[in-house]
């Protein structure tokens, strides 16, 4: 009894010891693995940090070289109004090029916009180069009225007039073959002109303040759906009292300049009051950038819904509600988005002639969730 007890307790001790050795082994192995893992993370982190430091894109630099309101003395007319702008855009990066997708300049006087105009066609700027942005705003691009113009001229008589120039451009950085996301760039420059309408020396070659909105989410805009060419022919035809036909055209427009759209099947359901009078399905298709599609469609309306709809049309009180649902994916620069559900609706008032009433030719479908 005693012996077996002793044996048992020794057995337990041995077991306990073995357990501790095993435990410390596993802790040691875990510790080593952990250390290796942390080292790896550190090395990768350092490599990325160095890469980032060397490749980190510098924002472009804009300098105002010249700004003038030429040919304008105190007698001049608004019709001759003209503003010229000469700005340099510098790409300070060693290895990174810049795509300017567009460039729009606006001139502000006392915070009111005097006019905006595209300054450059899209262009690519090589690393370490400077581009001259020269533009003349003439009367056609200026939105000031002659009264405001006279006010500016009068101010000029007193010495200096300060303007603000805003240059907006969506840009992308390019490192060898990799292109970055879009960024929205704003260059803001204050500039003053003297009595003769030309830039004051103190304002020459001043650097503009640059604001870069990183990762400008070029969130694609959703497509526009419009019902046109709606008609209910033969509404007066007594031979068609048992069923009628409704015809319409659906215009589908992709407003995006950078994204194509993949449409799943588009389901249209037409309601008269609470009753579904018809439906159509448009099979899935793809629509390119800035394109639109027209789909001609029709559906039959059977009794008893047709009788009710017909008498409402003849009474000029008919209105159909159309419900559109589909799913779309956007494709931007080879990247496909996830599916987005779309739900639109519209109300189509129908006149006695079976067309859209209220002198309207079309009905835009609106977001049904709002
Ligand atoms: C604009 O400024 C640049 C840099 O000074 C100059 O080389 C260029 O000739 C100017 N352009 C015009 C049209 O004055
Ligand atoms: C209506 O359809 C006709 C052809 O059937 C077409 O010529 C016309 O452009 C369409 N109207 C609209 C607003 O799309
Ligand atoms: C209606 O149908 C009758 C015979 O079914 C035919 O004679 C008549 O011309 C039709 N009317 C119209 C407007 O189609
Ligand atoms: C659409 O209409 C057809 C008959 O034209 C019907 O069989 C079908 O169930 C309808 N679908 C929906 C979703 O209302
Ligand atoms: C988009 O399409 C319209 C007409 O289809 C055209 O006038 C416009 O220039 C196009 N815009 C672009 C950026 O391609
Ligand atoms: C016809 O219109 C009047 C009002 O303009 C309305 O009271 C009546 O219910 C309408 N009848 C039908 C059948 O829609
Ligand atoms: C039906 O008749 C009314 C007058 O009787 C007319 O104003 C209307 O245009 C006709 N509708 C169609 C679709 O012919």
Cα separation, 105 vs 119, whole angstroms: 6
- CATH code of the domain made up of 224-367: 2.60.40.10
| Contact indicator for 227, 250 with CB cutoff of 8 Å | yes
Q: Among 315, 318, 350, which is best to mutate for testing ligand 6, by the most ligand atoms less than 8 A from CB?
A: 315
Question: What are the pLDDT digits (tens) for 204-223?
Answer: 999 999 888 765 555 688 89
pLDDT of residue 71: 58
More confident site: 70 or 67: 67
Average pLDDT on 334-343 reads 85
- pLDDT surpassing 90 at residue 256: no
- Residues flanking ligand 5, CB < 6 Å: 257, 290
Across the chain, mean pLDDT equals: 86
Ligand 3, atom 14, residue with closest C-alpha: 239
pLDDT of residue 153: 79
- Residues flanking ligand 4, CB < 6 Å: 269, 276, 279
Average pLDDT on 261-286 reads 94
**229 CA to centre of ligand 4 in angstroms:** 23
Cα separation, 202 vs 186, whole angstroms: 23
DSSP per-residue string spanning 271-290: EETTEEEEEEEEPPEEE-TT
| 3-state percent helix, strand, coil for the chain, nearest multiple of 5 | 25, 50, 30
Q: Residue 143: helix, strand or coil by DSSP?
A: coil
Ligand nearest to the CA of 310: 6
Question: What are the pLDDT digits (tens) for 174-207?
Answer: 887 777 777 889 999 999 998 888 899 999 999 9
Q: Among 279, 299, 300, which is best to mutate for testing ligand 4, by the most ligand atoms less than 8 A from CB?
A: 279
Average pLDDT on 57-66 reads 92
Question: What are the pLDDT digits (tens) for 150-179?
Answer: 888 788 878 888 999 999 998 888 887 777
**184 CA to centre of ligand 1 in angstroms:** 26
pLDDT band of 251, cuts 50, 70, 90: very high
Ligand 2, atom 2, residue with closest C-alpha: 229
Ligand nearest to the CA of 230: 2
pLDDT of residue 21: 67
Is 65 touching ligand 1 by the criterion CB < 6 Å? yes
pLDDT of residue 292: 94
User: Beta-carbon neighbour count of residue 211 at 10 Å?
Assistant: 13
What is Dmax (Cα atoms) for the chain?
A: 127
Task: Give the domain ranges of the chain.
Answer: 82-216, 224-367
Phi then psi for 6, rounded to 5 degrees? -60, -45
Ligand 5, atom 6, residue with closest C-alpha: 290
| pLDDT > 70 fraction of the chain, expressed in percent and rounded | 90
Ligand 1, atom 13, residue with closest C-alpha: 134
pLDDT band of 238, cuts 50, 70, 90: low
The domains spanning 82-216 and 224-367 adopt the same CATH topology: yes
The CATH number corresponding to 82-216 among 2.60.40, 3.40.50, 2.40.33, 3.40.1130 equals 2.60.40
């Amino acid at each position: 009894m005693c012996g077996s007890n002793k044996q048992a307790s020794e057995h337990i001790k041995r077991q306990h010891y073995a357990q501790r050795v095993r435990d410390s082994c596993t802790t040691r192995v875990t510790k080593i693995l952990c250390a290796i893992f942390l080292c790896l993370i550190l090395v990768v982190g350092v490599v990325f940090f160095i890469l980032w430091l060397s490749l980190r894109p510098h924002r472009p630099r804009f300098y105002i070289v010249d700004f003038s309101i030429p040919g304008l003395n105190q007698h001049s007319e608004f019709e001759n109004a003209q503003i010229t702008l000469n700005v340099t855009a510098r790409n300070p990066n060693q290895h990174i090029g810049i795509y300017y997708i567009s460039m729009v300049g606006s001139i502000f006087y006392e915070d009111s916009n005097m006019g905006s105009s595209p300054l450059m066609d899209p262009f690519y700027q090589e690393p370490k180069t400077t581009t001259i942005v020269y533009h003349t705003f003439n009367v056609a691009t200026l939105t000031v009225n002659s009264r405001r113009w006279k006010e500016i001229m009068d101010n000029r008589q007193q010495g200096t007039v300060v303007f603000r120039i805003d240059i907006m451009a969506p840009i992308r950085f390019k490192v060898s073959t990799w292109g970055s996301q879009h960024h929205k760039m704003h260059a803001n420059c204050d500039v003053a002109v003297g009595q003769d309408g030309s830039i004051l020396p103190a304002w020459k070659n001043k650097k503009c303040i640059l604001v870069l909105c990183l990762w400008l989410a070029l969130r694609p805009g959703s497509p526009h759906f419009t019902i046109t060419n709606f008609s209910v022919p033969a509404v007066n035809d007594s031979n068609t009292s048992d069923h009628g036909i409704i015809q319409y055209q659906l215009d589908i427009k992709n407003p995006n300049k950078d994204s194509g759209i993949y449409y799943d099947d588009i389901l249209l359901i037409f309601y008269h009051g609470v009753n579904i009078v018809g439906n159509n399905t448009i099979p899935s298709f793809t629509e390119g950038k800035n394109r639109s599609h027209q789909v001609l469609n029709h559906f039959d309306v059977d009794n008893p819904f047709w009788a009710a709809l017909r008498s409402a049309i003849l009474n000029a009180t008919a209105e159909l509600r159309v419900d559109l649902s589909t799913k779309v994916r956007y494709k931007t620069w080879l990247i496909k988005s996830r599916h987005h559900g779309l739900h639109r609706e519209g109300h189509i008032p129908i006149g006695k002639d079976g067309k859209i009433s209220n002198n309207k030719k079309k009905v835009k479908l609106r977001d049904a969730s709002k």
